[in-house]
């Protein structure tokens, strides 16, 4: 029996892959996996437990204890709505450090693959196409220049009433890009067979349409 189809969308921080992936999932009626949220949830839980981000084995032991659900655009962790809490810059930076540990990545593999259910899945992250779903029917590497991504993140934060400095955001993004690309465990790479989508000058609608067109071609 064939497995449900997967569209795997990878890319660097603030490339817009989450927004594009969730909209593509809505258009197709597919399930959606925000794998980055899982690492942010481990980061948040480890902060609450007081676990050092350098202790990979201890961090990995948190994973089986996490009761996670994605409902109506809300992320629930152990019964609490943490949708906003995991989106702070500090948790994002912490998640980037947590995600570099092979033990944590391994602990999350089965959990991520469990989201593959009928009628299909759109998954976004750093290693969806290269590690978690190497048999994805469509692999997309969605990217944008660091300057464009920093400006998007800046506008998002300002819109939420959170003060931010564009220069600081750009430096943080560049540091996270370096850490994600150079880590030993499942580094951020363009998977074999992936289509590269550069979104610096594209609207969200244009990016979504491109991915949908690629998917229709893939299943034709």
Domains and CATH numbers, the chain: 6-219 (3.40.50.300)
Banded model confidence at residue 38, pLDDT cuts 50, 70, 90: very high
What is the structure's pLDDT at 48? 93
pLDDT > 80? residue 177: yes
Q: In what order do the strands lie in the sheet with 80-81?
A: 68-71, 74-77, 80-81
Token pair 């197709």 is found at: 28
| % of residues, the chain, pLDDT over 90 | 76
pLDDT band at 80 (very low <50, low <70, confident <90, very high): very high
Q: What is the structure's pLDDT at 214?
A: 98
Evaluate whether 211 touches 9 at the Cβ level (below 8 Å).
yes
Q: Mean pLDDT over all residues of the chain? A: 92
Please give the Cα distance from 93 to 115 (Å, whole number): 25
């Amino acid at each position: 029996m064939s497995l449900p189809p997967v569209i795997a969308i990878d890319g660097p921080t603030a490339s817009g892959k989450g927004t594009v992936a969730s909209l593509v999932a809505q258009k197709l009626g597919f399930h959606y996996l925000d794998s980055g949220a899982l690492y942010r949830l481990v980061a948040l839980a480890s902060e609450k437990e007081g676990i050092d981000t350098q202790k990979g084995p201890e961090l990995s032991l948190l994973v089986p204890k996490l009761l996670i659900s994605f409902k109506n655009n809300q992320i629930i962790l152990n019964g609490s709505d943490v949708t906003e809490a995991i989106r702070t810059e500090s948790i994002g930076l912490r998640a980037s450090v947590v995600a570099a540990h092979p033990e944590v990545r391994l602990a999350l593999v089965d959990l991520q693959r469990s989201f593959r259910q009928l009628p299909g899945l759109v998954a976004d992250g750093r290693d969806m196409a290269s590690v978690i779903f190497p048999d994805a029917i469509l692999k997309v590497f969605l990217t944008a220049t660091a300057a464009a991504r920093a400006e998007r993140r800046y506008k998002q934060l300002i819109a939420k009433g959170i003060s931010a400095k564009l220069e600081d955001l750009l430096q943080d993004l560049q540091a996270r890009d370096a850490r994600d690309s150079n880590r030993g465990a499942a580094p951020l790479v363009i998977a074999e067979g992936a289509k590269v989508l550069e979104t610096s000058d594209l609207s969200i609608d244009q990016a979504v349409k491109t991915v949908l067109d690629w998917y229709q071609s893939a299943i034709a």
